[in-house]
Amino acid sequence: MRRLRTATGPAAALALLSLALVACSGGAYEATPIPEPSTAAAPSTASAPTTTTTTTATCAGQSYLASYAPDAQATGPLLTKIKERGRLIAGVSADTLLFGARNPVNGKIEGFDIDRLRAISQAIFGDPDEIEFKVITTAQRIPALQNGSVDIVARTMSITCDRWTQVAFSGQYYEAGQKVLVQREIPQLQNRIQDLAGKKVCAPKGSTSLTKLADFPEVKAVPADTHTGCLVLFQQGQVDAITGDDTVLAGLVAQDPYAKVVGAAFSSEPYGLAMPLKEKGFVQFVNAVLEKEKSDGAWRASYDEWLASALGSAPTPPKAQFGRTR
Amino acid sequence: MTLTTAQAPTPRAARVPGDPDRRTITGRVRHGVAALRHGFSGTPGRLRLLAVAGVLAGLLVGLAAGQAFRVSAHALEAADVNATQVIRVQEITTDLVRADAAATNAFLVGGLEPADQRQIYTDGLAQASEQLAQAARAQPADADALGALNRAITEYSGSVEQARANNRQGLPLGAAYLRVASSTLRTDALPVLDALVKANTGRVESELGAAQWALVWVIAGGLIALGVLIGISLWLARRTHRYLNLPIVLAAAITLVAFVLGGLVLFSAGQTAREVRDGPYAAALAASTARVDAFDAKANESLTLVARGSGSAFETAWQERAAQVEAQISSAALVDNVQTDSREEWDAYAAVHADIRKADDGGDWEGAVALATGERPAGTQATPPQTNANTTFADFDTASAAQLSEASKAATSRLTSPVNGLRFFGWLAVLAGLIAALAAWWGVAARLEEYR
C-alpha cells in the first residue's frame, strides 16, 4: 500500500541510525604516561665541597706532616667529653677491605684503621671495644668532624695542607701511594695514568685521588660515593679504571679476580687520623698511642694481620713528624 | 506475415508534463521526491507527517533510555575494573617494597641470610610479577608503563642477586650492590607505579562521572518525545474533533513511564556510584596507600641501621611515612561498613621503632639490630627480643591486608550489583520505545483511514 511505502524510507534510515547508536561503544583510554627517570637518588648526606689541589709541602710555614707532640697525659674538652660519655664515636668505612670493612660472617667492622681505634679505646677506657662506629662516605669525613657528630675519623685519610685548615691530623701511621686499577686482560702498556687518555677513571668524591685526577685532563674523571661504589661501576662496565691508594686498591683486587693494580705510585699519600680542628689535647693523646704502637710491635702485628698477604711483609713503621706550633 | 511497414513505435507511458524520465537514476530520484511531496500535501499528508513524527518520538525515547542504561551499566563496570586495577598496582608496590625491606633486613643481620627473610623476598618478587601480568591483561592502556616497570624490576632483582653472591663470599662489595638495588627501585620502579595509580584513579573518577551523566540522556529524550506526542494529540483533537486518540495516549503513557522510571533507576544508580566512591572505594584506596607507606617505612628503618650512624635522612623518611600511614588508617576506619581496623597493630610497631631509635642513638647498634630483626646479630651473644619490629609489623601486615580486602570487596560488590538490572532495563526501554512507536503509528493510521 502506498502509505506504507512512503514510510519505509524514513523507517529504514531510522533503523540504521538506531543500530549505529546501540553499536557505538565507549572510547578507549589513553596510554598511561611513563615518567622521566628522576635523578634524585635515595636520601644521602651532602658531599663536601671539593678543595683545590696544592702540591706545596709546606703550608703556612709548617710541614703538612707535622702534628702536635705526643703526650699520654694530655687532656682537653673533647677527651673529657669522651670519657664522660663512656665510648669513643668514630667515623669509619664499612666497605674498604683491609682497612675498615664489615665482615659479613661475624658482622664486625675490622681492619687496619679499626685497629688504631681499638688501641685508642684501650688507652682511654681499658677496653678496646668501647667504640661506636658511624659509617661515613669519603666526602663526609670532614663535615662529620666539623659538626661534631664524630670524635675521630679513621678512614684511609691522607694528610694535606688544605685539610689542615679544616681538621687536625695525628702523625702519619701509614704511607700509601696513588695507583690505578684496570682490567686484568689490558696489556702492560696501560700502567700509567697518562696511558688511559680518553677512558673513564673512577675515584670517590672528596678524596685526594679525585683531586689528583684533575692533573690529568686527558682522562675522564667519574666520581662515586665510595671505593666499592667505584668497583660496582667497574664491574658493570661503566668505567674503565679506578684510581686510589694502593692499599685500598689491594682490597678491591681481593674482591674481583679480573682486576689488577698497575704502575708505580704517582703520589704520596700519608695516612693520619683526623680530629676536630681545635682539639690539640686529644691529638697529643692520640699521637702518644700511635707512637707506643709503633715501638711495642702492635703496629707490625696489625700490618701482618691485614696487609701482609696483599703487600708483603711489614716494613718499618713510617716516622711521624712532630713540632707543630699552632 | 510479412514485414511491411516499420513497426509503430511502442507507445510510451503517458508523459505528464514535468514528469522526469524514469529510466535514468536522476530521473527516478526526481520522480520519488515528487511522489513524496505529493504524498505529504494536504491533510492526509499532514497526518502522514504526524505519523512519522510519532514513530520517531517513540523510537527516540526507547533509544535514549536504552543508551542511557547501557552507558550507565558500562560506566559502573569500567569503574570497577579501574578501581581493581588501582588496588592491584598498590599491591605490586607493596610487594616490591616488602621484598626490598626483607633484602635489607637480611643484610643487616650479617652472617648467613636467614631463610625466612629470603623466602619473603622471593615471594614478594614472585607476587609482584604475577600481579604485573594480570594488570597488563586487565588494562591494555597500561601496557607501556608496565613494560617499563618490568625492566626496572628485572634490573633490581639482578642487583640483589649480585649483592647476595658477594655477601656469600664474605666480600663487602655486597653492601654496595644492595645500595645500588634499593636506589634502582626508588628511582626507576616507584615513580612508574605512582603514575599508574594516578592514571587509573583518574579513570575511575571519569567513569563514575559518566554514570551520573547518563541521566541527561533519558531526561532529554523523554521530554522531546513527550512533547511530540502531546503535540500530535492536540493537533488531532483540533482537526478531527475527537478529543482522545487512545493509541496516542497509550504511546504517551508508555513514554512517560519509561521516562520517569528510567530517570529514577538511573538516579539511584548514580547515587550508588557516588556512595561507593566516597565510601568503600575511598576506604580501599586509603588502606592500600597505608600499606605501601608502611612497608616503605619499614624499609627505611632497615636502611637507617645499615647506614650505621649516617642514616638520619632515612629516619626522617620514616617519620614522614608513619604520619601518612596513621592518617590513611584513620580515614579508612571512618567508613561504616569496613569493620577491621589496623590502628592498634600499627601503634605496637611504632612503639618498637621508638625503642630501636633509642638504642641506636644511644650507641647500641647491635641491640638496635636485634630489636629490628628479631635475630641475633652475627658475633653477639645477646638473645633477640620476642617482641621485635618484624613480629609486630607482621601483625600489622595481616590486619591491614584484611582491612583492604574487606573494603575492596565491598566496593566491587556495590559497584557491580546494579549492572545486571541496568542492562535488563535497557532492553526493556528499547522494547517500550518500539511499542510506543507502533502505538503512535496505529493511532494516526486510524485517522488516516477516514480519508480513503
**Closest alpha carbon to B92 in B291, B270, B255, B249:** B291
Q: Strand, helix or coil at A131?
A: strand
Neighboring chain B residues of A229 at a CB cutoff of 8 Å: 176, 179
Query: Hey, CA dihedral for B181, B184, B187, B193, is it positive or negative?
Result: negative
Q: Which of residues 189-208 of B touch A (CB under 8 A)?
A: 191-192, 194-196, 199-200, 203
Give the mean model confidence (pLDDT) for residues B207-211.
82
C-alpha cell at A151: 670524635
Are B392 and B349 in contact, with CB atoms under 8 Å apart? yes
Characterize the bridge pairing of strands A95-96 and A58-59.
Answer: unpaired
Residue burial A46-83, b: 16+ Cβ < 10 Å; e: rest: ebbeebeeeeeeeeeebebbbbbebeeebebebbeebe
Mutate to test the interface with A, among B31, B59, B171, B304 (most CBs of A within 10 A): B171
Question: What is the pLDDT at residue B382?
Answer: 65
Residue A95 bridge partners (DSSP): A101
Question: What is the pLDDT at residue A51?
Answer: 41
Q: How close A96 gets to chain B, by Cα (Å)?
A: 8
Cβ within 8 Å, pair A228-B148: no
d(CA B113, CA B106) in angstroms, rounded, equals 5
B104 φ/ψ sector (left φ>0, alpha ψ -120 to 50, else beta): alpha
Question: What is the pLDDT at residue A47?
Answer: 38
Q: Strand, helix or coil at B242?
A: coil
At B272-327, the pLDDT tens digits run: 888 888 888 999 999 999 999 999 999 889 888 888 877 888 899 999 999 999 99
Compute φ and ψ for B206, nearest 5 degrees. -70, -35
**Pick from A31, A41, A231: CB nearest B173:** A231
Question: What is the pLDDT at residue A224?
Answer: 92
Neighboring chain A residues of B187 at a CB cutoff of 8 Å: 37-42
Residue B99 pLDDT greater than 90, yes or no: yes
Question: What is the pLDDT at residue B208?
Answer: 83
- Higher-pLDDT residue of B81 and A24 is B81
At B228-267, the pLDDT tens digits run: 888 888 888 888 777 777 888 888 888 888 888 888 888 8
Starting from the edge strand earliest in sequence, which strands make up the sheet with A152-153, in order?
A: A131-135, A88-92, A152-153, A274-276, A167-169
**Pick from B67, B199, B303: CB nearest A32:** B199
Q: Is B144 on the interface with A (CB under 8 A)?
A: yes
Residue B104 pLDDT greater than 80, yes or no: yes
Q: Strand, helix or coil at A102?
A: strand
Question: What is the pLDDT at residue B378?
Answer: 65
Question: What is the pLDDT at residue B157?
Answer: 95
Q: Is B145 on the interface with A (CB under 8 A)?
A: yes
Stretches where chain A sits below pLDDT 70 are: 1-27, 37-58, 186-191, 326
CA A112 to chain CA centroid, nearest Å:
16
Residue B28 pLDDT greater than 70, yes or no: yes
Q: Is A238 on the interface with B (CB under 8 A)?
A: no
Instruction: Measure CA of the first residue to CA of the last residue in chain A; give whole Å.
Output: 122
Question: What is the pLDDT at residue B242?
Answer: 75
Question: What is the pLDDT at residue B112?
Answer: 74
Question: What is the pLDDT at residue B269?
Answer: 86
Give the mean model confidence (pLDDT) for residues B7-21.
54
Residue B336 pLDDT greater than 70, yes or no: no
Helix (H) or strand (E) holding A66: strand A66-67
Q: Helical H runs in B110-171?
A: 115-138, 143-168
Question: What is the pLDDT at residue B452?
Answer: 67
Neighboring chain A residues of B180 at a CB cutoff of 8 Å: 232
Residue burial B148-170, b: 16+ Cβ < 10 Å; e: rest: bbbebbebbbebbebbbebbeee
- Longest CA pairwise span in chain A (Å): 128
Question: What is the pLDDT at residue B379?
Answer: 64
Residue B440 pLDDT greater than 50, yes or no: yes
d(CA A99, CA A103) in angstroms, rounded, equals 12
Question: What is the pLDDT at residue B81?
Answer: 93
d(CA A229, CA A251) in angstroms, rounded, equals 13
Percent of chain B residues topping a pLDDT of 90: 33
At B357-411, the pLDDT tens digits run: 999 988 888 889 889 888 776 666 667 788 889 899 999 999 999 989 989 999 9
Compute φ and ψ for B169, nearest 5 degrees. -90, 5
Mutate to test the interface with A, among B155, B168, B179, B315 (most CBs of A within 10 A): B179
Cβ within 8 Å, pair B171-A255: yes
This prediction's pTM: 0.81
DSSP of A191-233: -SGGGGTTSEEEEETTSHHHHHHTT-TTSEEEEESSHHHHHHH
Residue B8 pLDDT greater than 70, yes or no: no
- ipTM surpassing 0.85, yes or no? no
Task: Give residue B11's pLDDT band: very low, low, confident or very high (50, 70, 90).
Answer: low
Question: What is the pLDDT at residue A42?
Answer: 42
- Higher-pLDDT residue of B308 and B202 is B202
Q: Is A189 on the interface with B (CB under 8 A)?
A: no
State chain B's mean pLDDT as an integer.
86
Question: What is the pLDDT at residue B18?
Answer: 55
Are A206 and A141 in contact, with CB atoms under 8 Å apart? yes
Helix (H) or strand (E) holding A110: strand A109-110
Question: What is the pLDDT at residue A40?
Answer: 45
d(CA A9, CA A62) in angstroms, rounded, equals 110
A95-99, A145-149, B31-35, B44-48, range with greatest mean pLDDT: A145-149
Helix (H) or strand (E) holding A169: strand A167-169
Question: What is the pLDDT at residue B396?
Answer: 93
Q: Is B309 on the interface with A (CB under 8 A)?
A: yes
At B64-74, the pLDDT tens digits run: 888 888 888 99
Q: Strand, helix or coil at B252?
A: helix
Compute φ and ψ for B24, nearest 5 degrees. -100, 165
Cβ within 8 Å, pair B52-A10: yes
Residue of chain A whose Cα is closest to the Cα of B363: A132
Question: What is the pLDDT at residue A52?
Answer: 40
Q: How many other C-beta atoms are found inside a 10 Å radius of the C-beta of residue B362?
A: 12
d(CA B246, CA B197) in angstroms, rounded, equals 57
Question: What is the pLDDT at residue A53?
Answer: 43
